[in-house]
Amino acid sequence: MHKQIAAACAAGVDTDVVMSDTGYRFPSLMTQRLTLVSPAEAGFDAHDAFLRIGAPRFIDAADDPDALWWSIATIIGHWHLRGYGLFALVERSTGRPVGMIGPWFPKGWPEPELSWHLTEDARGKGYASEAAEAVLDWLFREKNWSNIASFIPEDNTASIALAQRIGARPEQLVSFRLAPANNMRTWRHQPRQRLLGEPVITGRLQ
Question: Read out DSSP for 137-191?
Answer: HHHHHTS----EEEEEETT-HHHHHHHHHTT-EEEEEE--TT-S-SSEEEEEE--
**The total number of structural domains that make up the chain:** 1
* Beta carbons within 10 angstroms of residue 173's beta carbon: 12
Beta bridge partners of 115: 102
Give the tens place of pLDDT for each residue, 99-117: 999 999 999 999 999 999 9
Give the residue among 73, 50, 74 at the shortest CA–CA distance from 62. 50
Give the residue among 55, 47, 25, 48 at the shortest CA–CA distance from 37. 25
Alpha-carbon separation of residue 14 from 87, 125, 131, 199, 200 (angstroms): 20, 20, 16, 11, 11
Give the tens place of pLDDT for each residue, 118-148: 888 888 899 999 999 999 999 999 999 999 9
3 state SS of 91: strand
Cβ proximity of 102 and 115 under 8 Å: yes
**What is the domain extent for residue 113?**
2-204
Pairwise CA distance, residues 113 & 91, whole Å: 24
- Res 7: pLDDT: 47
φ and ψ at 135, to 5 degrees?
-65, -45
How sure is the predictor about 23, in pLDDT bands with cuts at 50, 70 and 90? low
pTM of the model: 0.80
- Res 115: pLDDT: 96
- Res 18: pLDDT: 39
CATH code of residue 167? 3.40.630.30
